[in-house]
């Protein structure tokens, strides 16, 4: 599919998505236009991908686009869409947190336009995002195309819009809780005499390994935990201490608070 995409916004998220799509091989850099007020951000993209087109003019940038991806702050969605001349055939993809399909539709010339809400996390910058995708008025083929696009940047999953808040807590917010666990384990390592950089790499690789066990194996966290815990061993002592300190309850409450 020779799709053309315009990405409005080249900040942390928009820039990461543009780089990911350019590396993914499904959309050629020559079929991408990225817009932003910042000359510095656009120049950085152009240096990495010379065939990618850059612009400061949103209206001109969307004229020939099949997909228009809004990577702007939520409060900028309405004014940005208000300056565009869009066509019913175009597909709108919003990365703006908290902006519902119903609200997006009010800003569009045709409320029946195909819409997607995209919820990546910050690991998209390393092509390892957990990306959530909700759709409205989309065909099966359009949904599958979106999955193909964002599976090149990690793992993408279709969700119903009503689950967006809960799923965001698990993924976009949840990555911060995993990082907090890594930070806490590092601090323990430092107290036990391990240098900070070494402790960080040890723990990060352990977390990565744990994730791979779940993602690539027909398994469950409880089964993998059982493999590590020998009767009377040190791991079960540590796990019991975690439970005594309320670890599981704290994670559950943090996720629920993030909805």
Q: Taking phi first (over 0 means left), then psi (-120 to 50 degrees means alpha), and beta for anything else, what does residue 97 get?
A: beta
Taking each continuous run of H as one helix and of E as one strand, the counts in the chain are 12, 8
pLDDT at 1: 58
User: What is the CATH T-level fold of the domain 174-257, as seen in this structure?
Assistant: ProC C-terminal domain-like fold (1.10.3730)
User: How many C-beta atoms surround the C-beta of residue 49 within 10 A?
Assistant: 20
Q: How far apart are CA 54 and CA 33, in angstroms?
A: 5
pLDDT of residue 258: 93
What residues does each domain of the chain span?
A: 5-163, 174-257
Long-range pairs for 204-213: beta carbons < 8 A, 24 or more residues apart: 207/178, 207/181, 207/182
pLDDT, mean of each 10-residue run, the chain (259 residues): 91 94 94 96 96 96 97 95 94 95 94 96 92 98 96 97 95 95 98 98 97 95 97 97 97 94
CATH 3.30.70.2610 fits domain 5-163: no
Q: What angle do CA 57, 19, 149 make, to 5 degrees?
A: 100
Tally Cβ neighbours within 10 Å of residue 71.
Answer: 25
> What local confidence, expressed as pLDDT, does residue 2 receive?
81
């Amino acid at each position: 599919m020779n799709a053309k995409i315009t990405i409005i916004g080249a900040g942390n998220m928009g820039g990461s998505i543009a780089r990911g799509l350019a590396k993914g091989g499904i959309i050629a850099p020559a079929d991408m236009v990225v817009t932003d007020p910042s000359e510095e951000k656009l120049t950085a993209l152009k240096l990495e991908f010379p065939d990618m087109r850059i612009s400061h003019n949103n209206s001109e940038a969307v004229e020939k686009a099949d997909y228009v991806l809004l990577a702007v702050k939520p409060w900028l969605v309405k004014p940005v869409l208000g300056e565009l001349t869009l066509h019913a055939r175009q597909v709108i993809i919003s990365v703006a947190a908290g902006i519902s399909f119903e609200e997006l539709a009010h800003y569009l010339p045709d409320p029946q336009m195909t819409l997607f809400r995209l919820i990546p996390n910050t690991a998209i910058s390393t092509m390892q995002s957990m990306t959530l995708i909700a759709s409205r008025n989309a065909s099966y083929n359009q949904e599958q195309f979106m999955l193909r696009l964002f599976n090149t940047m990690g793992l993408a999953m279709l969700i119903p819009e009503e689950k967006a808040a809960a799923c965001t807590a698990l993924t976009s917010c949840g990555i911060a809780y995993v990082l907090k666990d890594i930070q806490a384990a590092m601090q323990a390592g430092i107290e036990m005499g391990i240098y900070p950089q070494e402790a960080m790499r040890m723990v990060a690789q352990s977390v990565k390994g744990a994730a791979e066990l779940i993602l690539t194996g027909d398994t469950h966290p409880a089964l993998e935990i059982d493999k590590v815990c020998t009767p009377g061993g040190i791991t079960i002592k540590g796990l019991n201490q975690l439970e005594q300190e309320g670890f599981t309850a704290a994670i559950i409450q943090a996720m629920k608070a993030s909805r």
